[in-house]
Amino acid sequence: MSLILVAILVIAALFTVWAVGLYNALVRLKHGVSKAWSNIDVLLKQRHDELPKLVETCKQYMQYEKTTLEAIIQARSAVHQAQQAHDISALGQAETGLRAGLGKLFALAENYPDLKSNENFQFLQQRITSLENAIADRRELYNEAVNLNNVRIEQFPDVVIARWFGFQAAELLRFSEAETADVNIRNLFG
């Protein structure tokens, strides 16, 4: 009888070790998603702080491009609201609008030689472009972390522990098809 009891205790101990290890792995994945999102959030805030400086610099030269500048300001506000609400899908849509506005602004800047040669504009354009590239890199890392998390919490036997402890799927950061489509340069100058 004691041999059976020992076997049951060994099996229970192995099951407990396995369950704890699985739970800890799921926790690491969940926090990996949070960390990846925080990295994006930092860059979005940095860009958020730089955009008013860019708009103000451009206003001095681009009196006739008021609608483009206003569109950037509105898109910036939409990005900020989506960030505050932690609404990933709204953030993707707002980012699409902001990036389109910035693309148009940088294209229109070609028509203003004084603006193009302005050191503040050049610095801000380079800064925002580097932030855009960093955001794209971080978005890729975030989506990878989300994918790892979501696959893991759906796989058997992980799904049992994930459901038991309420692990949730995370949402991918997606941008609209307009952002991934080919750019029509003629429309930027229209």
Amino acid at 84: Q
Q: Which of 29-43, 110-124, 141-155 is the least confident region? A: 110-124
Is the per-residue pLDDT at 128 higher than 90?
Answer: no
Q: What is the CA radius of gyration of the chain?
A: 24
Residue 190 has a pLDDT of 44
Summarize the confidence of residues 18-33 as an average pLDDT.
92
With a CB cutoff of 8 Å and minimum separation 6, the contacts of 172 are 88, 143, 146, 147
> Which one has a higher pLDDT value, 34 or 189?
34
Domains of the chain are: 51-188 (1.20.1440.20)
Summarize the confidence of residues 42-60 as an average pLDDT.
85
Quick one: DSSP state of residue 170? P
Q: How confident is the model at residue 94 (pLDDT cuts 50, 70, 90)?
A: confident
> Which one has a higher pLDDT value, 178 or 8?
8
Q: Which of 3-17, 23-37, 119-133, 138-152 is the least confident region? A: 119-133
Tally DSSP H helices, then E strands, for the chain. Answer: 8, 0
